Structure 1
Amino acid sequence: MALRNVVLPNEDPRQLLAIPKQEAKLYMSFMYVAFISLFIGGLMGLLQVLVRSGSFTLPFGIGYYQILTVHGVILALVLTTFFIIGFQFTLMSKTVGMSVKQRKVSWLAFWIMTIGTLVTAVTILLGKASVLYTFYAPLKAHPAFYIGLALVIVGTWVAAFVNWRQLYLWKKGHPGEKSPLLAFMVTINMIMWFIASLGVAAAVLVQFIPWSLGYAETINVLVSRTLFWYFGHPLVYFWLLPAYMAWYAIIPKIIGGKLFSDSLARLSFVLFLFFSIPVGFHHQLTEPGIDPTWKFIQVVLTFMVIIPSLMTAFSLFATFEITGRRKGYGGLFGWFKHLPWKDVRFFAPFVGMLAFIPGGAGGIINASHQVNTLVHNTIWVTGHFHLTVATTVILTFFGITYWLIPHLTGRKLTKSVNRLGIFQTIVWGVGMLIMSGAMHIQGLLGGPRRSAYSDYGGTEQAVSWGAYQMAQAIGGTILFVGIILMVYIFIKLTFFSPKGVEEFPVAEEEENAEPTPKWMENWKLWIAITIALILFAYTIPFVDIIQNSPPGSVPFDWPIGNS
């Protein structure tokens, strides 16, 4: 592992240490799959908005819901999961290390996930699994679709056990020391993911696979949807928490500052673990068969995640202000004016942070029992997802890409790529503003989600909807340009940028910070509280669902759930 010959002032030499080539090859494999998924999924999204605009017909007999399924599965599940697992592996390698044996097991996780992805993708492309990424019953896919999804989940579990083993061995070798913050965050995220994915794994293995193979004649739709949304909502936080890792522990280093509070960062992640899982019913507010009392309880628990979100916002802007004032920028907003706006490593995630303001507000509306009825099953919900995962999360992932990929490939982030990245971020922001804004407005007017239909009989409302669908097509086209630019940047950073050493920016804690309490790493307590909240929120209503389910098959006019 080689260092640059010259270490610049205020530069931590440890952050210039190159990750060993064998490890970098593993991490880059995850990134290859992620960016291939970005291109394919983005193309499917472009085709969707063009079809809905009424100006385009899919060729070769391709179905709208086929491309909708590809778009949802490959972006919401494949792109995010591969990027997150690869990114988290790099964080663990930098903070607690990775042994040769752990690397071999990590390769096993990669190949299990990749094989599962390919199996699932083939069934969708063959038109055997046009069931959307939620795969709601009574829609039925080919058994290989469910088997592929199960393999992807199993692969992530293997990765989770590697991460936990890495931290365990580090703690064993450093008795009495607090774990590195990023390693703590990765561990929390993978605990949350493992507990949550047990729900969808149970639905797939116990219900969908036997049903699709013909071994079971019927399927309990409400049970399947309840198990899916037990997983589906924490999936949102599985996307979001890696972005929070970058915001808390990497962005401060990029702007020349330090971590505001180690304790606050850890506490916010613990609270996300508590309140992200036992809240799935807020996606099922209009579902029959669930007692309204339990829906209300889970809505209240959903609102609890606002607390760690506000803690994060406070911590970030405290870091921004303290850093600016230390550099001598006075006045009320002088510190804000002098943030590194021309550094894409900061600019892209910051635009993502801004998008999370309306995105979070929309999430509050979606989770509100009464207000949700206005936007239920409208394209408003689609617009909301595009603000959160497709803007906040993805732009942060893009910001990570600008320094992570050259660090792994032994290259440099050049000024020209940095400028192109700024332009790409602006293109993405403008495209999403147009497309997501039109989706939100059309949703308030009652425009349905999931639907390919754009001709509503020439009424005044249809004309209005048509205008917003055309706006979505324009915004979607601009976004696809942003995807092409990002794929080009990824290829450039991987293969063609000049050789060099790019830092792996990890912020240090403030010198006078209060010491982090030892009880903050009481893993048994945090897991016990999480399980207790889940049992409280789900045991009685789940037993009630099973006991009062109608016999026989469920009719096909069962209402589609909220998300």
Structure 2
Amino acid sequence: MNKRDAKLAIAHIHVAYIALLLGGLCGLLQVLVRSGKFTLPAGIGYYQVLTTHGILLGLVLTTFFIIGFLFSSLSKTAGPLNNRVRTTGWIGFWVMTTGTVITAVFILLNKATVLYTFYAPLMAHPGFYIGLALVVVGSWTSGFAMFAHYGSWKKKHPKQAGPLLSFMSVITMMLWLVATLGVAATVLIQYIPWSLGLVDKIDVLISRTLFWYFGHPLVYFWLLPAYMAWYVIIPKVIGGKIFSDSLARLSFILFLLFSMPVGFHHQLTEPGIDPAWKYLQVILTFMVVIPSLMTAFSLFASFEQYGRSKGATGTFGWIKKLPWHDARFFAPFVGMVMFIPAGAGGIVNASHQLNQVVHNTVWVTGHFHLTLATSVILTFFGISYWLIPHLTGRIMTKETNKLALIQTWVWAIGMFFMSTSMHFAGLLGAPRRSSFSTYGNAPQALEWIPYQIAQAVGGAILFVGIVIAMIIYIDLVFLAPKGETEFPVGETAKCEHTPLIFDNWKLWLGITAMLILFAYTIPFMDMIENAPPGSKGFKLW
């Protein structure tokens, strides 16, 4: 990779790992408080810690790591960034970083204890919302830089499909830009005027709907970079081939189409939304199963083909041939396996009847920790084990690789304790987002305590995993021997013609827009028409 491009990418990775350390510490404090055996010192509030944990890990860590990975992928596969694109990328980075610092300041001052979902009627200081808006605007700036770079490649190669990793990067950023329109709208039109005192009230249903228009695609923004690694990087790491280029592209397009018009399945218990529209969006939610199964088929086909090429026999003999002692493979593979129960939990969350059992319980938090905190984060660790030394001009030693294997086991064990206990406690009705002081007198509290203690044990183990990850990160950035580390980009198993229709962005964005308009136009009209009396203007407040 171009050294100047590498500096841009590694800058994003640095911020991501700082967020991991601080957010992980807040997560440890959370589960200790939930166990009822620990009290926060120095007047620190539980919800202050909870907000910091969610913002740093759910938004800052993921967004910075993903954008750094996408810039590096584009530079590697579509050629070095030109000066204009690189400068735009740096502008995006500094705007995002400035917004992150502003947001963090007001959380630390305890003026923005509103959780990462910041639901009204909770109100934060205007600086919190302005900081979040800057993070979004900065990410848009980086996204436009990526689009410009990919467009430049297409102009030079007009009758060719773009490089697979670059194509996936563009799809990921397109999903992010379309999804963040919702959260940008509610922050700029509703929350900032409200927090500044320019209006005295806002429409809560509209604010929640705009948030969840963004909130569920956010999950796929986290997942798609992990899928990029699973589809394209892991086959190269193990010495195999990508099963199908076209299948990979189609699955990413389907994720773009089906991830947007599904936010109502987070609002199944809320009045003001016609049940018919909730039913429609639940159906669209389950459509995401299609590209997920396509991904699973493609991945395990690649694994089996590799194993057969190494002489594996029998139905599952290929499993023994996989490089289990390579942390670049092992960490993402554990993430893949954990995505199976995570997907099953997602089906429960999106099903109207089953959702009634687990809604607003800690079950949902457990599901969250299986998807983002396990499948995605373990894959990000696996990416780090080759991307960081590639960007810093170093190599990962055998000793560091062994430490990375230990880190993966520590993380998996810690998450097993934490997530499993969250799921069981949720089935018993343990509330989400609550500390022991708020639910300790509930009649069922005695039933929940063993699971809360198990969460604390899991959280402690996970924090050990974070410390090990930081040791590996420092080693790969500053201490590892100098050398060249490969940026592993897989090749397809057989020569195939990739249909150019996959690069028809007008078509796919047009279909995405139509699905969004179909799923949201009439419900929004109903919300505005039936807004509470006394609402002004467009009845957004």
User: Corresponding residue for 1:541?
Assistant: 523
Give 2:231's match in structure 1, choosing from 245, 248, 253: 248
Task: Give the aligned residue type for 1:337.
Answer: K
Unaligned runs of 5+ in 1: 1-18, 554-563
Answer whether contact 1:424 1:485 (CA < 8 A) is retained: yes
Distance 1:58 1:481 in 2: 20
1:260 correspondence with 2:260: no
Root-mean-square deviation (Å): 1.3
Distance 1:140 1:463 in 2: 33
Answer whether contact 1:454 1:466 (CA < 8 A) is retained: no
Bigger Cα displacement from structure 2, 173-182 vs 127-136? 173-182
User: Corresponding residue for 2:314?
Assistant: 331
How much has 1:456 moved relative to structure 2?
5.4
- Deviation string for 1:441-495 (max 9, x for gaps)? 0000000000012685678732221100000000000000000000110000000
Answer whether contact 1:218 1:552 (CA < 8 A) is retained: no
User: Corresponding residue for 2:27?
Assistant: 45
1:482 correspondence with 2:482: no
Task: Give the aligned residue type for 1:314.
Answer: F
- Deviation string for 1:366-402 (max 9, x for gaps)? 0001110000000000000000000000000000000
Paired residue secondary structure (1:370): helix
User: Corresponding residue for 1:7?
Assistant: none
Task: Give the aligned residue type for 2:432.
Answer: R
Distance 1:373 1:394 in 2: 29
Distance 2:134 2:7 in 1: 22
Give 2:500's match in structure 1, choosing from 518, 526, 538: 518
Paired residue secondary structure (2:65): helix
User: Corresponding residue for 1:313?
Assistant: 296
Answer whether contact 2:13 2:65 (CA < 8 A) is retained: yes
Paired residue secondary structure (1:287): coil
Structure-to-structure mapping, 1:17-36, within 5 angstroms: 19-36=1-18
Answer whether contact 2:54 2:116 (CA < 8 A) is retained: yes
- Deviation string for 1:326-346 (max 9, x for gaps)? 111112211111100000000
Distance 1:142 1:405 in 2: 37
User: Corresponding residue for 1:473?
Assistant: 456
Paired residue secondary structure (1:282): helix
Give 1:494's match in structure 2, choosing from 454, 464, 477: 477
User: Corresponding residue for 2:286?
Assistant: 303
Answer whether contact 2:310 2:321 (CA < 8 A) is retained: no
Give 1:140's match in structure 2, choosing from 123, 146, 161: 123
- Deviation string for 1:84-128 (max 9, x for gaps)? 000000000001121122111110000000000000000000000
1:152 correspondence with 2:152: no
- Deviation string for 1:278-327 (max 9, x for gaps)? 00000000011000000000000000000000000000000000111011
User: Corresponding residue for 1:14?
Assistant: none
Structure-to-structure mapping, 1:207-286, within 5 angstroms: 207-286=190-269
Give 1:179's match in structure 2, choosing from 151, 154, 162: 162
How much has 1:520 moved relative to structure 2?
1.7
Distance 1:238 1:40 in 2: 22
Give 2:413's match in structure 1, choosing from 422, 430, 433: 430
How much has 1:20 moved relative to structure 2?
2.5
Answer whether contact 1:53 1:454 (CA < 8 A) is retained: no
Answer whether contact 1:129 1:140 (CA < 8 A) is retained: yes
Give 1:290's match in structure 2, choosing from 261, 270, 273: 273
Paired residue secondary structure (1:504): coil
Distance 2:293 2:136 in 1: 31
- Deviation string for 1:420-444 (max 9, x for gaps)? 0000000000000000000000000
1:124 correspondence with 2:107: yes
1:75 correspondence with 2:57: yes
Task: Give the aligned residue type for 2:328.
Answer: R
Paired residue secondary structure (2:466): helix
Distance 1:301 1:150 in 2: 29
Count of residue pairs brought into register by the alignment: 535
Distance 1:433 1:390 in 2: 11
Answer whether contact 1:378 1:448 (CA < 8 A) is retained: yes
Paired residue secondary structure (1:486): helix
Paired residue secondary structure (1:119): helix
Distance 1:547 1:415 in 2: 64
- Deviation string for 1:182-223 (max 9, x for gaps)? 111111111111111011000000000000000011110000
1:505 correspondence with 2:488: yes
TM-score by length of 1: 0.94
Answer whether contact 1:260 1:319 (CA < 8 A) is retained: yes
Answer whether contact 2:312 2:321 (CA < 8 A) is retained: yes
Task: Give the aligned residue type for 1:45.
Answer: G
